[in-house]
Every structure is written in structure tokens, then in C-alpha cells.
Amino acid sequence: MGHSMGGHGALVCALRNPAQYRSVSAFAPIVAPSHVPWGHKAFGNYLGTNRNDWLAYDAAHLVQQAPRMDTILIDQGLGDKFLAEQLRPDLFEDACRRSGQKLQLRRHAQYDHGYYFIQTFMPDHIAFHAALLHQPDQVLALTTQSLERK
């Protein structure tokens, strides 16, 4: 679970390591950093100018390569000033649809990128993860899926 760039990190970690994460959720995550100014700046500085190297850290790309077996939960405030230019949940939603990844993308009118948005929906995320952590069959399925890829 994470928020904004931390939400991006949560998604990338879970998509790259499905056997190690039984669930993943995010609040207003940057989901396609290869396509937005924040991502260009960060990836250019940390990973260099070769944009192909960036794809290993781009959730929208990763979900197309290896969708998870579980549902991904994302909450997004529609009053978020970063929504259209930086966050772009539409790109992740499209990538999930094309890859068959189950996604619960909840859009909330009158919420922005801040504390009250996260505080309002945090109990939902805790309940989401708690429910998945109590499914022992899913652990076996995720582990098997991960081993089959190697």
C-alpha cells in the first residue's frame, strides 16, 4: 500500500514480486511514469536516458507483462490537481483491461491528493488487505504462478 510515488512503489514491488505480496493497493499512485513529466525527471536522473530501462519500473508496462491473480485496489480523488498530467490512472486502467488484470479503480469526486482523502479511505484498504491475507489458497496459487515464470 502506498500514496502517490509510494503507491507507484507498492504497485511495482507487487507486480515484480507476486509471490512476496499477497495484495496491493494504492492511493493516487503514479502508474505510468514513463509517460508523465514526474517520471521523466525521476527516471532520467536515476535510470539514465534509455527509456527502455524505465519500463522495468513502470506499473502500466509491468501489468501487461505479468498480471497478478488477485485484484489491485486503487483510490483516486477526482479533485486531485495532479490527476490529468502526472497520475494518469486511465493508462493503468487500460493496461489492466488489455492484460486481464482485475482492477478496482475507485474514483472519488471532491477529494484531492491530501491527507483527508487518504484518511477517509484507509479503513477500506486495511480491510481489503486483511481479507486477502486470510486466504491461504491464494498464497499457494501466487507462489506456483511465480515459480512457473522462472
- How far is the C-alpha of 146 from the C-alpha of 150, rounded, in Å? 7
Q: What one-letter code names the amino acid at 95?
A: A
Q: How many CA atoms lie within 13 A of 39 on its CB side?
A: 26
Establish whether 4 is a catalytic residue.
yes
Determine phi and psi for 21, rounding to 5 degrees. Answer: -130, 120
How long is the chain?
150
Establish whether 112 is a catalytic residue.
no
Please give the grid coordinates belonging to residue 79: 479533485
Annotated catalytic residue, options 4, 23, 25, 34: 4
Annotated catalytic residue, options 58, 70, 75, 80: 80
Distance of CA 123 to the CA centre of its chain: 18
Establish whether 23 is a catalytic residue.
no
Cα four-point dihedral sign 47, 54, 10, 121: positive
Annotated catalytic residue, options 3, 8, 61, 113: 113
Catalytic residues: 4, 80, 113
